[in-house]
Structure 1
């Protein structure tokens, strides 16, 4: 994935949660992206009626190394031929239009997630998963779909993996974990109280914690050692919290799985062959 894109996506996601001066700068960049990438921090502060110090604070709030990274990532977004907005369905709309809209929204979500997913954080997560004695995936509601999918994938390559949506069962399992184990908390909003509490419990047990949430600080990400982010998936109201956000979570799970499979290629191929043979045996 590229570290030269995703600036506008992150700005759109974070703008309403920023302090007033930083919000003014973010809004200015979103309204004038082509101009903003040509400015210095001082000039941008003047144009947005703030200051260069506020520009630097904004970059820190967004999780960037500095103003140069922000400009590079916005410039990368501008190189795209077009940025498609999420589209909602209409009453009694033609099925062909709905097919096109859902497909467009899904593609947009996948692209945005690829743009904002940190390669460095991904490497750290894969390293921890590769050596983990056990892996627990936690998700509530729609996020449990991603947790269950992860369990199924990682079991196929002989990882000691479990998924939970029941808080008490998850807490019971985490209670017996420690260093060498990994707990992955999945929450689109990052504010799912049960997931945050379970990650907090895991950290008390000195277990490595990984979060998969939308971009930005959140209760869940704040209790994780490694943060992985998905697109904000801001398609409109009828998504019911479980369409593009779910696709983004499954995308990150697939990326984790494929990266781990690449790192442990020979072992992975052997385990996949054995699991295929087991299923084939049952079907004879």
Structure 2
């Protein structure tokens, strides 16, 4: 069953207009009542309007009020989550290992709950049609870009993953209209990635973003927006641990969905690349 509705509402709460914020606060305080309400009933109890309820659903990236209710209902059926746990001074290896696993699992679960399947379908279609895919990220996100490039090259899809901004700008300046520029930034506010996607938009090249779930500059620029969970990793946020795994998960989902759509062709390409790698690495 779909879930993640309450997390979406909580994350977006401070960024919503006043009328939508009133509805969001009511949803968080009375989730059980909301799943049995109509649009007009929710509007009445929150002293807003039906139009504001619909706008809230749009702000959350959902199809409509029914989609929101289904996700909230799914949240109510789930056991209480422990939350992200940071390491403590002089913590044992055993505790660090288990906390890391717990945080990673929670990040993946939350990301799966936040998937907008309409946007995911658009991304899959765009990547299937693309002549070349230019992945771009800075810092930890560049690792995700390189992983994506490696996967797509193995199935005979043209892909790049450069970190040099000047080189990426050159690529986009000469990009084909059938290319796709894929910007990766957990915060969604990395200036270089924003500028790269803006340049692509200016050149008429289709764009995809991968950010945390939020109203970010990068996701607002992109033609297609994909999201990961917004894991809290302070004070070791710079390590980008759980968020990196969530980004890799979305790349894997895209890759495997594409593989499923062109299964026989994908198997042939994987076999050919495996044989080629074995040929150049075998001992004489």
| Bucket of the pairwise TM-score, normalised by the shorter protein | over 0.9
- Find the counterpart in structure 2 of residue 248 from structure 1: 246
Taking a change above 3 Å as real, the CA distance of residues 96 and 147 of structure 1, as seen in their structure-2 partners, is: same
- Find the counterpart in structure 1 of residue 236 from structure 2: 238
Unaligned residue ranges in structure 1 (runs of 5+): none
- Find the counterpart in structure 2 of residue 41 from structure 1: 39
- With normalisation by structure 2, the TM-score equals 0.92
1:181-239 deviations in whole A, cap 9, x for unaligned?
11101111111121111111112222111111112332211221111111112243323
Alignment of 1:41-190 (within 5 A): 41-190=39-188
Q: CA RMSD in A?
A: 1.8
Whole-angstrom CA distance in 2 between matches of 1:94 and 1:28: 42
Whole-angstrom CA distance in 1 between matches of 2:127 and 2:198: 19
- With normalisation by structure 1, the TM-score equals 0.92
**Does 2:6 align with 1:8?**
yes
- Pick one of 174, 196, 199 that aligns with 2:197: 199
Whole-angstrom CA distance in 2 between matches of 1:48 and 1:274: 60
Alignment of 1:211-226 (within 5 A): 211-226=209-224
Q: Is the 8 A contact 1:45 1:51 kept in 2?
A: yes
Offset, 1:138: 0.5
Select between 108-117 and 36-45 the one with higher mean Cα deviation. 36-45
Select between 34-43 and 98-107 the one with higher mean Cα deviation. 34-43
Offset, 1:19: 2.1
Offset, 1:10: 1.0
Q: Is the 8 A contact 2:62 2:116 kept in 1?
A: no
Whole-angstrom CA distance in 2 between matches of 1:63 and 1:125: 15
Taking a change above 3 Å as real, the CA distance of residues 145 and 130 of structure 1, as seen in their structure-2 partners, is: same
Offset, 1:171: 0.4
